[in-house]
Amino acid sequence: MPLTTATASAGSPDSAPPPVTAVSEPDGVHTWTTTAPRADLSAAAGPYTCFAGHSQDIGWPAQYKCSYDGTWAQAGVIGQHKQLEAVQLYSGSTGGQTCGQAHLRDIGWVPANGYLCVSDGAVAGFGTVGENRPIEAFRFFHRTRQTCSQAHLLVYGPVDDYVCPHANTVITVGTVGEAKALEALTGTIL
């Protein structure tokens, strides 16, 4: 089934995900890149990252959830028992690249050949829509800055505390091989 997203609305730091413009996986597994909406994050004192998550039976949210000035970006919904099926992320004011990779049930890590990395202002997307295929784990890192992330598993809740390794160190949150879907993902770039 083809991937669809909501139309972007410009002018808000928490605007809706933009339409997909390029799918990079030839085997039907979805990863994509596109341009982020024009967001006014002038209040952000430093780097920021924004997430949007496609949740089962809910779809894409009306707005991105962004991290800046001590807040956390979030993809998915907590407490509604809906599996996270796709994630979009973008960053700004980082001066580098943000990278990710998702582990999809019955498929494995996508992209299969490594990480999808995008520069400030570009969106990286991972997952499927309409296939009832949850994301079970997610990898997220920045090439030159420290990143932090935490997974919320469907039914089980948060997995451990926030993971905040050194810059250019891959964070893996969630589970692999346990058939436990992510409900939500939170993160930030420091």
pLDDT of residue 70: 65
Mean pLDDT of the chain: 78
% of the chain beyond a pLDDT of 70: 75
% of the chain beyond a pLDDT of 90: 42
User: DSSP string spanning 75-94?
Assistant: EE-SSS---EEEEEEEEESS
pLDDT in tens, 128-151: 988 899 999 999 999 999 998 989
> 100 pLDDT exceeds 70?
yes
Predicted model pTM: 0.79
Q: Which of 174, 171, 22, 43 is nearest to 98 (CA)?
A: 171
pLDDT in tens, 17-39: 443 344 444 344 456 565 555 45
pLDDT in tens, 164-189: 888 888 888 999 999 999 999 999 99
